Amino acid sequence: MKLLKKRCVAAAAAGTLAAALLMGCGSSVDDSEVVGTVGESEITFGVANFYLRMVQSRYEAYYTNLTGDTPAEFWLQQWDGGTYQESIKRNLVEKLEDLYLMRQHADEYDVALTEEEEKAIAKAAADFEEDNPLEAKELVSGHAEYIQEYLELATIQEKMDEPMKAGVDEEVSDEEAAQKSMKYVYFQYAKEDKDGNSEEMSDDEKKELKDKAEKFAKDLKDSEEKDIDAAAKEADLEVETVTFDSDTKAPNADFMKAADQLKENEVTDAVEADDGLYVGVVTSLLDREATDTKKEQIIEERKTEQYDSLLKKWREETEISFNEERWQEIDFAYQGIAIPKNEDDGAKDDKKASDEKEDDADSDKEDAQSEEEDEDSEN
């Protein structure tokens, strides 16, 4: 989970947190209350709350601006049998526990905070506490000791990423990563009405289009050069390209399965889908660029698998408890977090901040989906 981007967390904190004047109605909480344990480490409500509020602020800064939803509308949308708030919070419990597990095993990888990092973290925490009003600090548990604890955990997490992934086999053969390429055209079961709007074809029109697609496929097969670009231009169709292997499902699973059976320069039949028909010609059985990209992806998957397996092993070896009831009391939907715009910031800084928020929010959302898929597969 990229709670902070892959850059020096401590160095970024001094600029990021000091400017993040969080707004909201304060709440009376016992920040020192222990809400969880990871081995001998205690997780206080203050650290748990600050961690959650930082995630919340990034989501709201990006998604509510993108969709126009209020925080309540955004967090209460239905997602995987519950609300989006419930899904996010459910998956973040384990992420928070992982921070403590990594700190407990940091010395095994010679990972430790430098004096410079410790100073930067302390300054960021102090600046945040000084720059925010009491009401906002109470809302997010924004007091120096909890901020400092979180930033130490997040910095160690970042520093642990590379050594935990080191040593995996980075040799990937062309055969293992092979990606084919294809050009194809799509005959859509839709037409424009007199106002320019799209509407579904009648059954007779669909039959006529199917006959057209089948003739297109036959003519292309019978041609010597299998030039789909020229054939498509003549038929006023747009040519698309795709790289694929036996696992590829898009743009259509049946179409890709058919294409995967072909040799280079062979043409598919007109493969029918619910909303149209596809005809394609395989242009290469080993697309060099796509294959090399796939190799990099496989290596990253191996690294991630090793990283996840280490966390799983440490988790199995460690006694962990968490107060789920206390965790659920932290509400997103009716307690929005606003980060006021700094009027002194230039347009360049605004764009940079916006891009960083988008990257972090997208990463968090993808991680939440991934965690849910993992839970489903385990169940």
One domain, residues 127 and 184: no
Question: Taking 80 as the threshold, does the pLDDT of residue 358 lie above it?
Answer: no
| Cα 192 from Cα 225, distance rounded (Å) | 33
H or E, element range at 198: strand 198-200
Residue 54 falls inside a structural domain: yes
77 and 96, same domain (yes or no): yes
Query: Which residue, 263, 285, 307, sits at the end of a domain?
Result: 285
Q: Indicate if 250 and 302 belong to the same structural domain.
A: no
Residue 325 lies in a domain: yes
Residues in the chain: 379
Q: What is the pLDDT of residue 365?
A: 46
Task: Kindly state whether residues 22 and 153 are assigned to the same domain.
Answer: yes
Last residue of a domain, which of 237, 264, 285?
A: 285
> Model confidence at 4, in pLDDT bands (50, 70, 90)?
very low
- Does the structure show a pLDDT above 50 at 86? yes
Say which residue, 138 or 293, is predicted with more confidence. 293
Which pLDDT band holds residue 376 (cuts at 50, 70, 90)?
Answer: very low
Instruction: Judge if 153 and 212 occupy the same domain.
Output: no
Of 78, 47, 50, 75, residue with least CA distance to 60:
75
Residue 174: inside a domain: no
Q: What is the CATH number of the domain that holds 184?
A: 3.10.50.40
Q: Looking at the structure, do residues 275 and 318 belong to the same domain, yes or no?
A: no
Asked whether residue 374 is domain-assigned, the answer is yes
For position 374, what pLDDT does the model report?
Answer: 44
Residue 347's pLDDT is 40
Query: Distance between terminal CA atoms of the chain?
Result: 22
Per-residue model confidence (pLDDT) at position 11: 44
Q: Convert the pLDDT of each residue in 200-244 to its tens digit.
A: 999 999 999 999 999 999 999 999 999 999 999 999 999 999 999
Domain stops at, among 224, 251, 285: 285
Q: Over 70: is that where the pLDDT of 106 sits?
A: yes
- pLDDT (average), residues 31-35: 95
Task: Kindly state whether residues 116 and 154 are assigned to the same domain.
Answer: yes
Contact 111, 119 (CB under 8 A): no
* 229 token code pair: 């670009």
Cis, peptide link before residue 251, omega less than 30° from 0: yes
Percent of the chain surpassing pLDDT 90: 61
User: Are 157 and 203 members of one domain?
Assistant: no
pLDDT at 339: 56
162 shares its domain with 36? yes
Does position 15 have pLDDT exceeding 50, yes or no? no
Q: Is the distance from CB of 60 to CB of 74 less than 8 angstroms?
A: yes
pLDDT band at 127 (very low <50, low <70, confident <90, very high): confident
**Does residue 95 lie in a domain region?**
yes
Q: In what order do the strands lie in the sheet with 180-188?
A: 239-244, 180-188, 276-284, 271-273
- pLDDT tens for 318-328 read 999 999 888 88
Do 257 and 306 lie in a common domain? Answer: no
Asked whether residue 230 is assigned to any structural domain, the reply reads yes
User: Are 278 and 255 a contacting pair, CB within 8 Å?
Assistant: yes
16/159 same-domain check: yes
Mean pLDDT of 126-132: 85
- Residues 199, 317 within the same domain: no
Give the pLDDT band (50/70/90) at residue 17: low
For residue 346, pLDDT over 90 is answered with no
Whether the CA torsion 319, 56, 352, 79 is positive or negative: it is: positive
The pLDDT-based confidence of 9 (bands split at 50, 70, 90) is low
What is d(CA 89, CA 35) in angstroms, rounded to the nearest whole number? 15
* Overall domain count for the chain: 2
Q: Using alpha carbons only, how large is the chain's radius of gyration in Å?
A: 27
pLDDT surpassing 70 at residue 361: no
Q: Which domain holds residue 259?
A: 180-285
- 316 lies in a domain? yes
| The pLDDT of residue 375 | 40
Res. 352: pLDDT tops 60: no
* Band (354; pLDDT cuts 50, 70, 90): very low
The pLDDT of 312-339, averaged and rounded, is: 87
Does 292 reside within a domain?
Answer: no
